[in-house]
Amino acid sequence: MSNRFQVPWVSGFIAEHREGRASARPAAQCAATARTAAVANRLRGMTRTVLAAALAGVVWGGTVWGGIAAEPDAEGFVSVFNGQDLSGWIGATQSYAVENGVLYSKPDGAGNLMLAKQYADFILRFDFLLTPNGNNGVAVRMKTVSGGGTLNGMELQILDDDGDQYKKLKDYQYNGSIYGVTPAKRGFLKPVGQWNSQEVRAIGSRITVVLNGTVIVDQDLKEVKETPDGREHPCLHNAKGYLGFMGHHSRVDFRNIRIKEIQ
């Protein structure tokens, strides 16, 4: 950034983050990094607001822009995928595509496809279809658009549990699990090639995953004292963050993606 565009509050935040503290607790590290990320997002936002409105599509004053439904349905859910393109989504857009009204992750790509808006408490509903050895995830309350769920928020696994690549996983790595934190109940995933319906509830510290009508995860994060993977999850308790999908070099299809914010 040139001196011409330096602003004191920006410089202060960046300097604070660069100095850091080696002894900081994980939660503090997450907060410090999130503050710096927020600054960067503000600066990027200054230049992309107009483009986002014109190209990504926005909803304003009850009007539909870019094909995203502005009005909630009878249950209060708003569609966030227009079935035509990636309007309203940011991140690894090159690793995802739309075909016949279906959003899918490309098998030769990876990365996080996130909704442009950040969410705190919400209920997310969507359908997904796995291909053999399909691997993806729902990114929840991520502090940044890119990066892994373990360090930046949490990932709810989407996986072909019966894939030949996944015979020897830990229980917290299988479909529906809060990856590394809470194992999901197994046996409710439909066979490869069939559509599954999933609901994710993130309300306060409680994360609930409902797969094909069965609750497979119901975890109060406040009760997590030690994670089974033995790793630090510094942003597990984020109150708000980015929401989307995490591609892992395989095709997974998505449709009927809709969300209801809980106030």
Ordered strands of the 110-119 beta sheet: 89-91, 110-119, 241-248, 135-142, 154-159
Kindly state whether residues 146 and 162 are assigned to the same domain: yes
Q: What is the mean pLDDT of residues 27-56?
A: 50
Using the predicted structure, report yes or no on whether residue 15 has a pLDDT greater than 90.
no
Kindly state whether residues 18 and 137 are assigned to the same domain: no
Q: Cα angle vertex 50, ends 46, 54, to 5°?
A: 150
Kindly state whether residues 1 and 67 are assigned to the same domain: no
Give residue 83's domain range: 62-261
Using the predicted structure, report yes or no on whether residue 240 has a pLDDT greater than 70.
yes
Kindly state whether residues 140 and 234 are assigned to the same domain: yes
Using the predicted structure, report yes or no on whether residue 141 has a pLDDT greater than 50.
yes
Taking only the tens place, the pLDDT of each residue in 60-69 is 333 243 444 4
Kindly state whether residues 240 and 187 are assigned to the same domain: yes
For residue 137, the model assigns a pLDDT of: 98
Measure the CA–CA gap between 104 and 111, rounded to whole angstroms: 12
Using the predicted structure, report yes or no on whether residue 135 has a pLDDT greater than 70.
yes
Kindly state whether residues 74 and 41 are assigned to the same domain: no
Cβ burial of 3 (10 Å; 0-12, 13-18, 19+) is exposed
Q: What's 200's domain CATH number?
A: 2.60.120.560
Measure the CA–CA gap between 194 and 192, rounded to whole angstroms: 6
For residue 127, the model assigns a pLDDT of: 98
Taking only the tens place, the pLDDT of each residue in 176-202 is 999 999 999 999 999 999 999 999 999
Cα–Cα nearest to 16, from 34, 43, 42, 41 = 34
Grade residue 37 by pLDDT with cuts at 50, 70 and 90: low
Kindly state whether residues 206 and 236 are assigned to the same domain: yes
Kindly state whether residues 163 and 91 are assigned to the same domain: yes
How many Cβ atoms from other residues are within 10 Å of residue 87's Cβ? 19
Kindly state whether residues 143 and 229 are assigned to the same domain: yes
Domain end marker among 15, 34, 56? 56
- Domains held by the chain: number: 2
* Structure tokens given for 156: 């709810």
For residue 8, the model assigns a pLDDT of: 43
How many Cβ atoms from other residues are within 10 Å of residue 168's Cβ? 6
Kindly state whether residues 230 and 205 are assigned to the same domain: yes
Kindly state whether residues 41 and 74 are assigned to the same domain: no
Kindly state whether residues 103 and 32 are assigned to the same domain: no
For residue 19, the model assigns a pLDDT of: 40
Q: What is the mean pLDDT of residues 117-138?
A: 98
Domain end marker among 13, 33, 56? 56
Q: Which residues of 173-183 are buried (b: 16+ CB within 10 A; e: fewer)?
A: bbbbbbbbbbb
Measure the CA–CA gap between 155 and 139, rounded to whole angstroms: 5
* Structure tokens given for 191: 């066979």
Measure the CA–CA gap between 200 and 168, rounded to whole angstroms: 26
